[in-house]
Copies of this chain bind each other. A is one copy, B any other.
Amino acid sequence: MLTLSEENYIKEIYHLDVVADKGISTNAIANKLQTKASSVTDMIKKLADKKVLIYKKYQGVTLTDFGKKAAANIVRKHRLWEVFLVDKLQFSWDEVHDVAEQLEHIKSPKLIDKLDAFLGFPKRDPHGDIIPDKKGNVQAQEQLLLSALIKDDIGICVGVKDSSAAFLQYLDKQKIALGQEIKVIDKEPFDGSVIIKTQNKQFSVSQKIATNLYIQKI
């Protein structure tokens, strides 16, 4: 059985693992978890004992298959709860994270199965992120950043890279929602901004926006 703290470490290492290919460094984990490197060293020793990850002094860590499954399960719970908060309780998508951060630690497989069914077996959370299945498998997402599209490309908005409240609120203000169709009218090479058309309105978004919005081409 994993403690709350252990679960938070595992989840964060899992998120870092997606990008990195070598071992996850002690400092990277410490930054993400707002803690000190020495605390991380202590904890990863414990997690290595529990066969959650592989740890060699000074070489960083990598999750074992067991660790990856455990992590995917926590992520699954987090994202299902986010769907619940938005779909059923009318939370907006920029205010669900902190609550889901607590709910993800509730231990009851039955609860999650029933919640999943109640929500209609959703595939993605309110930010467009894929929800891992019961067995901890994550379906690969075929998605590009808006900035990677070229003139006349058309796609569906499927997710955000940055899920900070500020960014989500910006999207709300511009009436950009997940599931929405977006067409690239033109690109401005000078500053990387993109002129898009969505819902019959045409406007420009900055490079910062374009590099944080995932699109699935159609």
Residues of A within 8 A of B (CB): 85, 88-91, 95, 98-99, 102-103, 106-108, 110-111, 114-115, 118
Q: A88-B118, A89-B115, A91-B110 known; 9 other A-B pairs, CB under 8 Å? A: A85-B111, A90-B114, A91-B114, A95-B110, A99-B106, A99-B108, A99-B111, A102-B108, A103-B106
Give the chain B neighbours of A114 by CB distance below 8 A: 89-91
Interface of A is mostly: helix
Taking CB as reference atom, which chain B residue is nearest A115? Answer: B89
Asked whether B98 lies within 8 Å of A108 as measured between CB atoms, the reply is yes
Give the chain B neighbours of A90 by CB distance below 8 A: 114
20 A-B contacts (beta carbon < 8 Å): A85-B111, A88-B118, A89-B111, A89-B114, A89-B115, A89-B118, A90-B114, A91-B110, A91-B114, A95-B110, A98-B108, A99-B106, A99-B108, A99-B110, A99-B111, A102-B106, A102-B107, A102-B108, A103-B103, A103-B106
For the complex of A and B, the 8 pairs showing the least CB-CB separation, nearest first, are A89-B114, A99-B108, A102-B106, A99-B111, A89-B118, A88-B118, A103-B106, A90-B114
Chain B CB count within 10 A is highest, among A89, A98, A115, A118, for: A89
Shortest CB-to-CB span from A77 to chain B, Å, is 12
Shortest CB-to-CB span from A7 to chain B, Å, is 13
A111 to B99, CA, bound (A): 8
A95 to B111, CA, bound (A): 11
A147 to B122, CA, bound (A): 49
A208 to B51, CA, bound (A): 50
A102 to B111, CA, bound (A): 12
A90 to B118, CA, bound (A): 9
